[in-house]
Amino acid sequence: MARLKIINNFDGSFVLDPDAKQTLFSLLKGESFMRQVAEQVHCQRVEFTELVFQPVPYSQATPKGMPALYEQYHKSSDYAIINVPPNFMFKAKVFNPNRLCAIYRKVQSPSQ
């Protein structure tokens, strides 16, 4: 029988190389990609907040699998959190961390 390993502390901090960050953010801000995100989260359009984080193991301190600092975005219906597509990570040459999430703000039309 497999045993679960309880993780009490996980350092999810990271620093992106400036060139990698610029490439990644430009991919995440692409009009076509942002249209796809907006469609998936059922809103007119989205804006990239330029906030990215590394998913962290679930624990008592991080029950949402994200650093506590970002849980406010998870709780808000005004934001969407997506997994950064692996091909974006590859194109931007981001290999560590190997997974990232990006936060988008939902923009509704004035009539909604």
Higher pLDDT, 111 or 2: 2
Q: pTM for the full model?
A: 0.83
The predicted structure's pLDDT at residue 13 = 66
**Which run of H or E residues covers position 32?**
helix 31-40
DSSP secondary structure code for residue 70 in this structure: G
Q: pLDDT tens-digit profile of 74-105? A: 999 999 999 999 999 999 999 988 899 999 99
Give tens-digit pLDDT for 26-60: 999 999 999 999 999 999 999 999 999 999 887 77
Query: Would you state the pLDDT for residue 68?
Result: 84
Give phi and psi for 52, each to the nearest 5: -130, 150
Sheet holding 79-83, edge to edge: 45-53, 101-107, 79-83
Q: Are 79 and 71 in contact (CB under 8 A)?
A: no
Q: Which secondary-structure segment (H or E) carries 103?
A: strand 101-107
Q: How many angstroms separate the first and last alpha carbons of the chain?
A: 52
E-strand ranges in the chain read: 45-53, 79-83, 101-107
pLDDT score recorded for residue 112 = 45
